[in-house]
Amino acid sequence: MTAFSTPDLADEHPDVRAIELQFTNYGSHARFSGPVVTIKCHEDNSLVKAAVAEPGEGRVIVVDGGGSLRRALLGDMLAEKAAANGWAGLVINGVIRDVDQIGVTELGVQALGTTPLKTEKLGEGQRDVTIAFGGVTIVPGEYVYADNNGVLVSAVALL
């Protein structure tokens, strides 16, 4: 992966959009980027589980969990599956669990925080839909750039 910093990308490309949330970087990859696959769900990670089982091809899963801090949308087993299947990372408007294991998994993971509680698997949610959170609308196929400074969204590839 090409090294980048989100501040430099924002300076070079004034049309990028910054997600206005304070994410924490939990994955072993301090920076990650790729084309976006979107998931919209609330306290049910069934669609996340299905997505990470597919070939990732360097893409990034952006999950709009509504900002819920009650149920983890990602845990160690799903993170390991995502890494094994070639996903670059996940950006989660929600929380995760198993942070010690995720921290050594070859994957980028940004989330709002942590909880020990898992979700119920009800099969609810939507995939590949336009989502909006943190002041940014995100369309499937756009590009995400994430590092310890924040998360940027661009309509076109910047690297």
Residue 130: pLDDT over 70? yes
In terms of pTM, does the model score above 0.85?
A: yes
Question: What residues form the annotated binding site?
Answer: 75-78, 97-98
**Mean pLDDT value across residues 58-63:** 98
Question: What residues form the annotated binding site for Mg(2+)?
Answer: 98
Instruction: Provide the percentage of residues in the chain whose pLDDT is more than 90.
Output: 97
Instruction: Please state the CATH superfamily assignment of the domain spanning residues 23-133 in this structure.
Output: Ribonuclease E inhibitor RraA/RraA-like (3.50.30.40)
pLDDT digits (tens, 9 = 90+) for 93-105: 999 999 999 999 9
Q: What is the C-alpha to C-alpha distance for residues 155 and 69, in angstroms, rounded to an integer?
A: 29
Residue 132 phi, psi dihedral angles, 5° rounding: -145, 130
pLDDT tier for residue 1 given thresholds of 50, 70 and 90? low
Question: What residues form the annotated binding site for substrate?
Answer: 75-78, 97
Supply the pLDDT for residue 34.
98
Q: What is the C-alpha to C-alpha distance for residues 71 and 83, in angstroms, rounded to an integer?
A: 22
SS3 content of the chain, % helix, strand, coil (to 5): 15, 35, 50
> Each residue of 54-76: b (16+ CB within 10 Å) or e?
eebeebbbbbbbeebeebbbbbb
pLDDT digits (tens, 9 = 90+) for 33-58: 999 999 999 999 999 999 999 999 99
Q: ∠ at Cα 84 (31, 120), nearest 5°? A: 90
**Mean pLDDT value across residues 114-123:** 94
Q: What is the C-alpha to C-alpha distance for residues 16 and 106, in angstroms, rounded to an integer?
A: 27
**Mean pLDDT value across residues 108-132:** 96
Q: Where are the domains of the chain?
A: 23-133
